[in-house]
Structure 1
Amino acid sequence: MDNLVTERLVLHPMSVDEAEAEAEQTVTGEPGADVRWEQGYPTEGDRAVARRFLEHCAATGDPQPFGPYVIRRRSDQRAHGVTSVKGDADHDNTASQHVMTGAGMRQIGEDERVKHYAVSWGR
């Protein structure tokens, strides 16, 4: 899976290998030699996302292109947090709708509960 790149940020899809390494590194509180973290990252919430991702992959496989993405600052590649792309958003969750359209997704439908989005991973 390719990165989603904006002017300031890179959304990097979390892989099983990265999530396992992330979990081990968070126990010690130290990133690996080739990993760059912003101060305060990862939070307990970030670690919980990584754990749930690993559990999901073990049970049903990798959900990409949906699932967790590590948020990195483009200028120095430092990790700042984790976000999840799930492909739908409640009608009243305009923040998620803006994130999905900003990441290049387009609305492809809606029902009484949610709006559904899709992205084309063109090469």
Structure 2
Amino acid sequence: MSAGIFVLSTLPELFLLFGTFFAAMGQDGYVHLVNTPQKVIIYGLSNLAWLLMAIPLGFWNDKKIYKEVREELSKRPRYWKRAITIYCAVIVMMVVTVNVTFPHFSPNENTIKQELMEIRGK
């Protein structure tokens, strides 16, 4: 039971992690981080996703916490549904923002081709 709940609780973080790497993926299918803003975005959001996935590990197999969580969920179910929805929406907005803005931090492909030609020519 606790393994299933852990997987469900980490789905938004996995979406953040894979969405971030999808933004950085080049045409060849590999992640190429060319400049500092790209590295800051990718490393920052990747580490955030890993840290958010590690939070539920602290509550693994603790009967007292399970009981408290069930009581809280039964007291205010609407509040928690909204909170989870907002949490997932914020993560989706972060992924969309990264996918929209990441190409602006990437160098122009013509510039890359010119630099490669200069290197090969020398």
TM-score (norm 1): 0.27
Kindly indicate which of the two structures has a greater share of residues assigned to helix.
Answer: 2
With normalisation by structure 2, the TM-score equals 0.27
